[in-house]
Structure 1
Amino acid sequence: MPANPQPVNPRTANPLPATIPALVRTRVRAAVRRPGRLTPEEAAARSLLLRLCSLFLQYPDTELATARPVLTSTVEALPPSPAAEELAAFTSWFAEQQPEALERHYVEMFDLRRKSSLYLTYYLHGDTRRRGMALLTLNQRYRAAGWNTDGGELPDHLPVVLEFAALTGSAGGEAPLRQHRRGLELIHRALTDADSPYRHVVAALLTLLPPATEADRTAVAQLVAEGPPNEEVGLDPYGTYGEGEFAPPGTFVPPAAALPTRVPPAPTSRTEGPR
């Protein structure tokens, strides 16, 4: 009879078959390594990728358009990775466009299309009251980390979320990105359907997140078919109409002042003389 097998410690056991070459096993372990286990060099490279994604998904104003040569050279100097390849494909287009054409394309992709809007809580909560709470929770997360936005955008705007992740680190900083992965998948699908080069930026971001699950793919398909939840509460699908308003100026009309709780008695018709 065979000898009794020795008990295996699940914490020290190698989950990969010993027949796999050592080099392959090392690369597999590196591929599934959790972000919290990254070396300082890997964390810095990851932060740079997130910051580049944040910059590329911002409105291409004059300052950003002027910085295109620097951004292109930065992408060219990145270590080889799937994310670097995607960003290189984007910058090859980005660097050659006229500024006016860049602006038009950005507005068409992100301001005029709900399925590729950059406001992440819209995909999870739609036009419901829960979206307002999600925005508040996200803002509280930023403040708890000691980071305050300038108030120019809502806290769920993807470039803002990416900047927070780049500054704060992969543990808590990337949590909002993981939470809204399905929305990111939908944005990527919409940009791909529109043949927009911005699809490469979102694709680069998705390579940094955990792989999509079957539940994720099912939820994205449902979003494509039905759209996000809908409930008319004054929340615009793009997040804001102006300086942080959730509805157009003048929409809200305050109610009339309430009557006092104690009403003085009306004067009587009887006239009393001096006493």
Structure 2
Amino acid sequence: MMRGASPAYAPDQLTRTWQSASILMDYPGDELFGRLDLLSEVAASLPASLGSGLQSTIEHLRGQSLWDSRSDYVDTFDNRRRGCLFLTYFSNGETRKRGLALLRIKQVYTKAGLVLTDDQLPDHLCVVLEFAATTDQRAGVKIIVDNRAGLELLRLHLVEIDSPWRGALESVCATLPALKGKDHEAVERLIAQGPEVEEVGLNPYGMPDLAPMPGGT
């Protein structure tokens, strides 16, 4: 088993979980609803500890319109800082350091032969999950684990607001080892202080515009 992934699961189970979660946690496109039956079959083929969370998200998406799914998605991930899907934002905040973190991840992709399109940032959770699932599991899971505190803060946010995407992310977290002491400390620090902020020189790094956290969310 690769370092950084839970020893409880086989590589093919990790692949199916990460790729399914990558599809489910991306912005709902027209093609998503046509893929829900297949995703449900994949989820059913996994151990319950991985598949049940995916199924929960799938069933919620089945029960609402594409328009409502898109509206909920924007409110969950685009309008709240704790819902940010860009992993290095949590560890580096709105600072120049994030540009270096993005560059390092992009170099990992380039080494593995993956070329991103111009509209993709390398630290978007769905991009990282897709990379881990289809290109390089070992390198992909390292990116995830290196940003584990941010991933946990995102999970807590989704639990707090009872998000339909909570299940998919909990399935991803189930593929990882339990949080260690330093990870807990990092999460507590993020909750108390939030990511770092630096007001100058951020545009070249493709920083996403994030709305303030209403009510601290």
TM-score after normalising by structure 1: 0.70
127, 139, 142: which one pairs with 2:109?
142
156, 160, 164: which one pairs with 1:193?
160
- Alignment correspondent of 1:67: 35
Q: In 2 relative to 1, CA 132–140 (structure 1 residues): closer, same or farther, beyond 3 Å?
A: same
44, 50, 64: which one pairs with 2:18?
50
Ranked by relative contact order (alpha carbons within 8 Å, sequence separation 6 or more), the top structure is 2
Amino acid of the structure 2 residue aligned with 1:120: L
Residue segments in structure 1 that go unaligned for 5+ positions in a row: 1-32, 242-275
What is the DSSP-based 3-state SS (H/G/I as helix, E as strand, rest coil) of the residue aligned with 1:210? coil
- The percentage of aligned residue pairs carrying the same residue is 34
Q: How far off is 1:235 after superposition?
A: 3.3
**Are 1:127 and 1:233, in contact at CA under 8 Å, matched by a contact in 2?**
no
Q: How far off is 1:71 after superposition?
A: 1.9
154, 164, 167: which one pairs with 2:131?
164
CA deviations on 1:196-240 (whole Å, 9 max, x unpaired) are: 021111111111112101221121111011101111134379933
Q: How far off is 1:112 after superposition?
A: 0.4
1:94 pairs with 2:71: no
- Alignment correspondent of 1:203: 170
Task: Point out the structure with max Rg over C-alpha.
Answer: 1
Superposition RMSD on alpha carbons, in Å? 2.4
CA deviations on 1:104-158 (whole Å, 9 max, x unpaired) are: 0000001101111100110000011100011111111100111111222211111
Take 2:72 and 2:15, find their aligned partners in 1: how far apart are those partners?
27
Query: Aligned residue pairs: how many?
Result: 207
Q: In 2 relative to 1, CA 173–103 (structure 1 residues): closer, same or farther, beyond 3 Å?
A: same
Take 1:208 and 1:238, find their aligned partners in 2: how far apart are those partners?
30
Take 2:11 and 2:17, find their aligned partners in 1: how far apart are those partners?
10
Aligned ranges for residues 1-275 of structure 1 at < 5 Å?
A: 34=2, 42-76=10-44, 78-235=45-202, 239-240=207-208
Amino acid of the structure 1 residue aligned with 2:198: E
Q: In 2 relative to 1, CA 240–234 (structure 1 residues): closer, same or farther, beyond 3 Å?
A: farther
Amino acid of the structure 2 residue aligned with 1:187: L
**Are 2:4 and 2:176, in contact at CA under 8 Å, matched by a contact in 1?**
no
**Are 1:111 and 1:238, in contact at CA under 8 Å, matched by a contact in 2?**
no
Take 2:3 and 2:65, find their aligned partners in 1: how far apart are those partners?
38
What is the DSSP-based 3-state SS (H/G/I as helix, E as strand, rest coil) of the residue aligned with 1:155? coil
Amino acid of the structure 2 residue aligned with 1:121: T
The answer to which structure has the higher helix fraction is 2
- Alignment correspondent of 1:259: none
Q: In 2 relative to 1, CA 235–109 (structure 1 residues): closer, same or farther, beyond 3 Å?
A: farther
Take 1:135 and 1:34, find their aligned partners in 2: how far apart are those partners?
23
**Are 1:43 and 1:169, in contact at CA under 8 Å, matched by a contact in 2?**
no
**Are 1:36 and 1:170, in contact at CA under 8 Å, matched by a contact in 2?**
no
Q: How far off is 1:38 after superposition?
A: 9.8
